[in-house]
Structure 1
């Protein structure tokens, strides 16, 4: 099995754990604070990754260039914008619709990868993205009053627009991170990914700190009070991001994001095995389609 596949599956698993931890944080702080900890508390671990590769394994540090700083800035800001759009979408009654549309990220990443990086996507990869996307949509609407017919009718709704915009920003971020990492030109995919992660997370932390100081200063005290769980979120989040960046250095963002839909399986498994939640037919069908899409992706 290819290296990027193993890394992507591991990153998806860690991201699921991070999401569970962030949901816990929502009980003690606001959305802004819970979002910040994945960046701010990830900085020490991002530094540790670079230090280990440089001092422990002896890999030389790459020299960032103008292209690197351009792409990492675009990607880091796009990722923040994508999160903000998702948060705004949660305020709407039918946010499930928007969430489903936000999962169009792999398809949009394929388009942006072709436009900006010349990444070619095979017909098999496109088919895998389409199959998995249908599965994700089924799981997204399975536990709500929103049916697939309503999902299709809502194409021009504000919630759908927010979801699509969020997916667009996530797609831009994925392609931007791949472009930034590739622009370093060496010494290897691990160091390129680690340096890209460190630059991105430092910028995101600075932006979020300024935002909180101006718009939500009370969040800083709540973050300090919950520093232990926040540090765990930072560790898991930074490690997951390191995995994403390594995978996207080795493979196109579209293929990585298509395989990353396996996170939905992990989330579904947590709901069933940990929280003992009921399973319905749409959820089972969605899981089957996601697995089928991943199988197609791995076989092409």
Structure 2
């Protein structure tokens, strides 16, 4: 009878184990503690903290499906070859979001660890938390008197008078780079290239808007105009204006509030504005003379 009872107990135990499944088959619990070794520093957090951003790489990694595939250190912690200071800031923001219930983290406004901004932004992109802006070289809105050239990437002035074009891509986080080609600029008279805050109601002189930053021509003057918050400044840092045929590269660091410009014709010069307010931006062009044409690249 004793042997029979033991056999029965063993059968019952095996049945219970089969019903429960192996540890690999059990559904992951949001309350599970996850121990991490990130670049040599140890972190402990709950699974739900790491998986709260739907669709992110972090959510996929710690969903439970890949628990048996992780690389572990000697202490059994999941090893991630990432910068620990940057990861600590990510974990802090995820915990803060849970604590306050404010929903999604605005990663573009998170201050990265000192001297690690490029890495921090790249890591956010890698983890699927905040994608780096993908620049689409198309114009989105045109003032009357401007027409689209080839495709949606160039604009042509029809008639004289100020008129603006606004780019399609909204720049609201990270660093974005784009280029212009000044194909036609009659007498190098007038051309404004820069950025402007998204969602503004603009008149023909869009470069005077308080959110406008960029560089312009000033025919017949050795000191061309720059616009800083819509205010004209002549010859800022030696700027002398665009010429027909110019190839121009611009970079906007949204988080740092810095707009930079490089003109191929002036290989030793980099022109820069700092102090742009936090917000969402679009590429901004303003032309004047009939036939002038600028391409966005």
User: Could you say which TM-score interval applies, normalised by the shorter chain?
Assistant: under 0.3
Give me the TM-score of the superposition, normalised by structure 1.
0.19
TM-score by length of 2: 0.19
- Relative CO higher for 1 or 2, CA cutoff 8 Å, sep ≥ 6? 1
* Structure number with larger C-alpha Rg: 2
**Structure with the larger helix share:** 1
Structure with the larger strand share? 2
